[in-house]
Amino acid sequence: MKIAVLNGSPKVGNTAAMVNAFADGAKEAGHEVEILHVGKMKIGGCIACEYCHTKGEGKCVQKDDMEKVMPAYKDADMVVFASPIYYFDVTAQLSAAIQRVYAIGKPAKASKAALLLSSASPNPYDGAIATYKSILAFTGIEDAGIITAAGSENGSEAKMAEIRSFAKAL
């Protein structure tokens, strides 16, 4: 499978560790992984101009880093959303990328998705999981799994091994 991983963290930190463990496991199983560090990119919020659905024919009027994300997203068999929890949800950067996908609506190929979430405290995940599940319901993409890392689980060998074996089994 071609797997596109969207990392919404603005840092190379705990979420990146989860993403790297996922990529290692998935590559070991023979999958092709493209990591898109959207949290470090310049991606504006959707401006609701509807250019994409009229003259743009699926292209966004905004010329920013979403142009790097869209080809991988369109071509992926699986999409992985990864984010630190910021105020009980995914980051604004990942939200912006998700909302900009409005330009194409449903990805043509993706049939599987996963969610990787990092947080300081245990269980602040309901908002992020609700967003993720709504996307799956809208797109018809199947959930392959949700993995969370809270507090000291972040970067721990046990959590990295859990993520690697999850990805390896895809």
CB of 133 to ligand FMN, least distance (A): 19
Strand-pairing partners, residue 118, are 84, 149
Strand-pairing partners, residue 34, are 4
Q: Are 139 and 112 in contact (CB under 8 A)?
A: no
Pair of tokens at residue 163: 């993520």
CB of 123 to ligand FMN, least distance (A): 8
Distance linking the first and last C-alpha atoms of the chain: 9
HSE of 122 in the Cβ direction (CA atoms, 13 Å)?
2
Smaller CB distance to ligand FMN: residue 16 or 76? 16
CB of 162 to ligand FMN, least distance (A): 16
Q: How far apart are CA 82 and CA 85, in angstroms?
A: 10
Smaller CB distance to ligand FMN: residue 124 or 145? 124
Smaller CB distance to ligand FMN: residue 128 or 170? 128
Smaller CB distance to ligand FMN: residue 70 or 150? 150
Give the distance from CA 85 to its chain's centroid. Answer: 13
CB of 152 to ligand FMN, least distance (A): 11
Residues binding ligand FMN (CB under 6 A)? 9, 11, 13-16, 84-88, 118-121, 124, 154
